[in-house]
Amino acid sequence: MSEIVRLAARGDGVSADGRFVPGAVPGDRVAPDGSIVPGPGRVRPPCRHFGICGGCQLQHASEPVLAEFTAARILEPLRRLGIAPREVRPVHLSPPFSRRRASLRAVRREGRVLLGFNAEGTHQLVDLGMCPVLAPELFALFAPLRALLADIMPPRAVVGVTMATTDGGVDLLLSNLAAEALPVVEALTRFAEAQGLARLSVEGPFGIETVVAPKTPSVTLGGVPVTLPPGAFLQATADGEAALVAAVLEGAAGARRVADLFCGVGTFALPLLRGARVLAADASGPAVAALARAAQAAGRPVETQHRDLFRRPLAAAELRGLEAVVIDPPRSGAAAQTAEIAAARVPVVMAVSCNPATFARDAERLVAAGYGLETLWPVAQFRWSTHVELAARFCLR
């Protein structure tokens, strides 16, 4: 028998002789006929949709296996570039039922509305009857939402469903759905009131429109309430967000002038304002405006820029004089902005990333410019998924 020694990036087991074995985890053994003999790293998946739903790939892996996988996903691309962190912190793994933001699809099929995630590697929708990942208040909306959409969805339509928990209740955005006819508007309004939503918005051909907002859809960041624009980015779990914020605050401690690039609504900028002057920049105008309003109301003014940092990154001359930069780009990374940071020789760079491959590329640029990767914080807030996140502290040597 061949033993499974690690997990590949997409969650398949890899045997000692280099074979990829779907459904296997480290410690399992593979018999000559291809069957899997369970090892100590295997657990019973908690969801009946596991193996079909594409939302989770690793429910059959124990917590030690999940932690090892998360760290390896981040460290392996760095190792291939000859980069080794001086310190790697323990992996932070978010608990079940903690996902506060989710994007799903709803389709109408034979008089029924199906709501859920796509099946792994396909566009086929899995109609969820349970979900041990989502926060209970989000999953509680599934049944009433199916009933609502059954009445207002056009035949053969596909509706995007984005939901997030906020301090005021669930913020719900329905995409590819027109809310022009009075009966539809009335049905949406009744639904929002009956379910205690903070806000219900629709996105149609003319953009996003708020139908009803009985409560304020706000989140508290660094002790400051921020009213979210419809569809605004929010870290997937409050638990994971807290881990990333703690890492950023520790890594940037003592810096009095800080830039927060790709700042969104202020996940890092607002906590940083407690001890520093902050310049916050992002391509999302509504997010930057929400951050500025919240900071002003809290008596913590922040300098903001509505700026596409891919097309027009902050130049080295604009960054000089800063004591730290926090950068949290999308999955594509931030090659151009990282080059300007390196040229400015900002003493401390706190990088937050959701893509180990593009993070490694940006890290290579910083290391080549004389930075050292001092501390790495692996974060697995998408529990049971191959998607991992991290924070990292680079210091100019």
d(CA 231, CA 172): 8
Determine the 3-state secondary structure of 258 from DSSP: strand
d(CA 66, CA 169): 31
Residue 336: Cβ within 10 Å count: 13
**What type of residue sits at position 186?**
E
Residue 98: Cβ within 10 Å count: 16
Could you tell me where the DSSP H helices lie in the chain? 63-80, 136-139, 142-152, 182-195, 238-251, 269-272, 285-297, 316-319, 335-344, 356-368
Do 4 and 15 touch, CB atoms closer than 8 A?
yes
Q: Which two tokens stand for residue 177?
A: 């759905």
DSSP character for 132?
A: S
Establish whether 354 is a catalytic residue: yes
d(CA 391, CA 385): 18
d(CA 244, CA 238): 10
Strand-pair partners of 200: 172, 212
Q: In what order do the strands lie in the sheet with 29-30?
A: 20-21, 13-15, 2-7, 29-30, 36-37
| Diameter of the chain measured on Cα atoms | 68
**Nearest CA among 328, 99, 365, 332 for reference residue 236:** 99
d(CA 333, CA 223): 29
Pairing mode, strands 224-227 and 218-221: antiparallel
Contacts for 14-23: CB closer than 8 Å, 24+ residues apart: 23/51, 23/60
Q: Which of 53, 56, 263, 354 is catalytic?
A: 354
Residues marked active site are found at 354
